[in-house]
């Protein structure tokens, strides 16, 4: 992956904020490979990654004038991309869980011919609700901590992969993991 020229990219942002569509196209060309790589590694699906990339740049274009410091555009794009990927992943996961629960209910219904399957469905729903609660608590953590925790524990990424995707050192990833887990533990213990 090529190294980005942050000063040049900041100049493109300034031009794009004034309505220069060519500058935004050039900004896209300079950054899309990195953003696509993140989306693909997060979602592990080529088509979902393309959808995420499209939504990321659509949101970026709509909100570009709100970006106060053009030098931070890469971090800003990363945050948008992460949120988009997270939402797409959640939708996909909910769909998969609902389908699995429906299949289990049908299988139990066929096996038991009408009785005893409701408890399993309720258990599945309680488990799904608990997972959603924990994920919502993770999302309330500071952004970098939540991103690192989700990538490590929900996407099963290695520390080296996270460090590369987030453009930080391994020790920073470990530090964010540790502080994020500590904060999360305090929140969950209070509940």
d(CA 98, CA 93): 8
Prediction pTM value: 0.60
d(CA 105, CA 118): 8
d(CA 112, CA 182): 45
Low-confidence ranges of the chain (pLDDT < 50): 1, 106, 109-110, 113-118
Closest by Cα among 116, 180, 189 to 144:
180
Query: Tokens for 178?
Result: 């540790």
Q: Give the phi and the psi of residue 68 in degrees, each rounded to 5.
A: -80, -35
Q: What's the longest Cα–Cα distance across the chain?
A: 68
Give the chain's length: 191
Taking CA atoms, 152 is separated from 23, 145, 159, 170, 177, in Å, by 35, 11, 7, 12, 8
Query: Tokens for 31?
Result: 């950054």
Position 62 scores a pLDDT of 94
Position 150 scores a pLDDT of 85
d(CA 16, CA 65): 8
Closest by Cα among 87, 88, 77 to 34:
77
Closest by Cα among 147, 95, 151 to 103:
95
Position 123 scores a pLDDT of 63
């Amino acid at each position: 992956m090529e190294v980005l020229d942050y000063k040049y990219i900041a100049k493109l942002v300034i031009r794009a904020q004034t309505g220069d569509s060519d500058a935004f196209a050039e900004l896209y060309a300079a950054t899309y490979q990195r953003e696509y790589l993140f989306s693909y590694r997060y979602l592990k699906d080529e088509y979902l990654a393309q959808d995420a990339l499209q939504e990321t740049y659509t949101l970026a274009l709509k909100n570009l004038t709100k970006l106060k410091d053009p030098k931070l555009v890469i971090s800003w794009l990363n945050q948008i991309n992460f949120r988009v990927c997270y939402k797409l992943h959640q939708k996909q996961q909910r769909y998969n869980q609902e389908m699995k629960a429906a299949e289990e209910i049908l299988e139990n219904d066929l096996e038991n011919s009408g009785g005893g399957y409701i408890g399993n469905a309720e258990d599945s729903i309680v488990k799904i609700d608990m997972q959603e609660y924990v994920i919502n608590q993770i999302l309330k953590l500071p952004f970098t901590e939540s991103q690192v925790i989700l990538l490590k524990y929900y996407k099963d990424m290695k520390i080296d992969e996270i460090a590369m995707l987030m453009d930080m050192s391994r020790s920073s990833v470990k530090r964010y993991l540790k502080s994020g887990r500590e904060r999360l533990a305090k929140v969950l213990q209070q509940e």
